[in-house]
């Protein structure tokens, strides 16, 4: 039995990861300041003796008793609505918070995995994006607090590894969807599903021709776990689904799957919103033996069912 710390543990990805780890009979400590997440996501785990929750901000001095074998650092708001609410704190989370977690990993001699993002590639000039691509990020734009913050987090991970020998892992997460997404996080899939279920117009930003590659949450969790357990490979590695869809195609699929009669309306594209996003997962296949398994339609049906249950309660 490992003792595993999951920061951002009550968030969308974090809570799904906690459930996965508990099912593996690991001991899990979830940490979250609840800024952009909900404690409801982890309520089902609170009665489990192998699970504990600490409400804490990783940007502040961080100490924890006992042994820790692994740290999954997921703490950071990940949708533009939330990370732009307090951009300074967003940057701090990817710098001060990451330093605090790296120091904890050093103290506990724990392996630490940093949840980086496809946003480190910015609005990419390379398509699909390989891990060797250095990105095209506007350092002065409204998304920079997240994009540049995550790039700095990767730098810190590598420097702690080189300078102190810290046992690190870096995964770059591409667009992910599934149960426990927040209804108000402004992400494409959740936005479209909520609008469809409420019989509101589906709002597309831009022409809808911009593309994304969407992976179901279970695929992401299995990829992250494979990376954490992999020896002699620190990354970075892309974890995403290389199947590419236009935003308009996603909207149309959700309209069909929900049986709604919604119209599609168009608004202006937000500043620095990438026009294309698709991972090259050659490295994940070679190093981890991983690739996504859940087809888009199957994942969307599960996600729609989840939001239907939320709406009924």
Residues 104-115 pLDDT 10s: 999 999 999 999
Per-residue pLDDT band for 271 (boundaries 50, 70, 90) equals confident
Query: Residue 111 forms beta bridges with which residues?
Result: 70
Active site residue 146: yes
Write out pLDDT tens, residues 133-151: 999 999 999 999 999 999 9
What domains appear along the chain, each with residue ranges and CATH number? 3-179+215-242+278-293 (3.40.50.720)
Distance between CA atoms of residues 196 and 61, nearest Å: 43
Q: What's the pLDDT band for 310 if we cut at 50, 70, 90?
A: confident
Q: What is the largest CA-CA distance in the chain?
A: 58
Question: Is residue 176 within 8 Å of residue 216, measured between CB atoms?
Answer: yes
Stated pTM of the model:
0.94
Say whether pLDDT at 260 is over 90: no
Residue ranges in 240-295 assigned as alpha helix (H): 247-258, 282-288
Catalytic residue among 83, 146, 160, 177: 146
């Amino acid at each position: 039995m490992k003792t595993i710390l999951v920061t951002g543990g009550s968030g969308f990805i974090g809570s799904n990861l906690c459930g996965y780890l508990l099912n593996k009979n690991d001991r899990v400590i979830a940490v979250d300041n609840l800024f952009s997440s909900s404690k409801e996501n982890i309520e089902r785990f609170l009665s489990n003796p192998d699970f504990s929750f600490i409400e804490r901000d990783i940007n502040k001095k961080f100490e924890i008793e006992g042994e820790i074998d692994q740290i999954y650092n997921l703490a950071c708001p990940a949708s533009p609505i939330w990370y732009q609410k307090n951009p300074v704190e967003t940057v701090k989370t990817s710098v001060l918070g990451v330093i605090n977690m790296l120091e904890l990993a050093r103290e506990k001699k724990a392996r630490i995995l940093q949840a980086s993002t496809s946003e480190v590639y910015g609005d990419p000039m390379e398509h699909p994006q390989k891990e060797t691509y250095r990105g095209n990020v506007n350092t002065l734009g409204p998304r920079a607090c997240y994009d540049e913050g995550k790039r700095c987090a990767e730098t810190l991970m590598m420097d702690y590894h080189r300078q102190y020998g810290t046992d690190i892992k870096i995964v770059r997460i591409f667009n992910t969807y599934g149960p426990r997404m927040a209804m108000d996080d402004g992400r494409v899939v959740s936005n479209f599903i909520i609008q469809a279920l409420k019989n509101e117009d589906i709002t597309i930003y831009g022409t809808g021709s911009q593309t994304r590659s969407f992976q179901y949450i279970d695929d992401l969790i299995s990829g992250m776990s494979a990376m954490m357990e992999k020896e002699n490979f620190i990354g970075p590695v892309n974890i995403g689904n290389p199947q590419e869809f236009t935003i308009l195609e996603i909207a149309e699929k959700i309209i069909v799957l929900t049986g709604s009669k919604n119209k599609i309306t168009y608004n202006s594209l937000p500043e620095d919103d990438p026009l294309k996003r698709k991972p090259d997962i050659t490295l994940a296949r070679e190093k981890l033996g991983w690739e996504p398994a859940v087809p888009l339609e199957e994942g969307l049906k599960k996600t729609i069912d989840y939001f239907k249950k939320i709406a009924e309660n």
